[in-house]
Amino acid sequence: MLVNSCELINPAEDIPSFIHIDSIDVNTNDPSAVGSVSHKVSDAWVYIDDELIGTFELPATVPILKEGIHRLTIRAGIKSNGIASTRPYYPFYEPIIYDDFKLFKDSIIKINPVTHYSDGAKIAWKEGFEDGGVSLIKASDDTTSLYKTNDHSLVLEGDYSAYAKILPGDTSFFFRSTDTYRLPISGFSYLELNYKNNNKFLVGLIANINGSSVTLPVLVLNRSDKWNKIYINLTMMVYNYSTATDFYIFVSSERESDVAEPLIYMDNLKLVYSK
């Protein structure tokens, strides 16, 4: 009776199988259509037989209370708007599927998932500053310019990046996309961006409604002394202004009092939405 009681109090625990993921990479076979594949995948969403096991910050060793042959699916998770508490999987990265994945109890299997943009992703605009022109223009009364640089100490990737500098005597700058974009009310919309900056700057939308324009701030980006990648979620702003015919993207900044020479470096702007 004593032995049976101990077993009831301390029941035998299942021995899990494990998978280990250092990182999730992003690739493409069509750079001309997709542009840069720079990314900041922070998490792995792990499914077994289409059932969510959990979301794990990378690198991660994932325990799974199963063994034998199963369908393993990995989705690439991000920090939406750079917020650590908001970590969805990115809807435009294709899930990575292993149809016949064999799990072994008390063993760790290392995998190296690689994803790509899904067929349901529409890349409406990409600006990597590699071409002759630039698809951002300044406000008519703005004296600040957007400069391209090929100084390799300042370039993220490729041959060029771009930067805006608030000149002495100026207090701000404002640039918008040269084209407008029709964004879906019922789908996702994101702006991807690489940046580094010593002065805060703002990213947002300009909604065109019945012949008028409404400026819609979306996200303020704090200072970053190293190149950073962010996924800016435009979905709710587009939904809230569903009567807009189309939208511009804008980038603006106001001089902070403690910054002598405000500089904002940018690369790989990419507007992606659901087809």
Domains and CATH numbers, the chain: 2-115 (2.60.40), 121-274 (2.60.120.200)
For residue 102, pLDDT beyond 70: yes
- Among 24-33, 196-205, 239-248, which is the least confidently predicted range? 24-33
Residue 31's Cβ-count burial label (10 Å; 0-12, 13-18, 19+) is exposed
Residue 98 to residue 111: CA distance in whole angstroms? 10
| pTM of the complete model beyond 0.85 | yes
Q: Are 209 and 273 in contact (CB under 8 A)?
A: no
Q: Could you read off the pLDDT of 53-73 as tens digits, one per residue?
A: 999 999 999 999 999 999 999
Cβ atoms < 10 Å from Cβ of 153: 5
Q: What is the pLDDT of residue 169?
A: 87
What 3-state class would DSSP assign to 111?
A: strand
Classify 268 in phi/psi space as left (phi over 0), alpha (psi -120 to 50) or beta: left
For residue 7, pLDDT beyond 60: no
Q: What is the pLDDT of residue 62?
A: 98
**Mean pLDDT on 253-270:** 96
Cis? peptide before 168, omega within 30° of 0: no
Residue 94's Cβ-count burial label (10 Å; 0-12, 13-18, 19+) is middle
Residue 244 to residue 131: CA distance in whole angstroms? 30
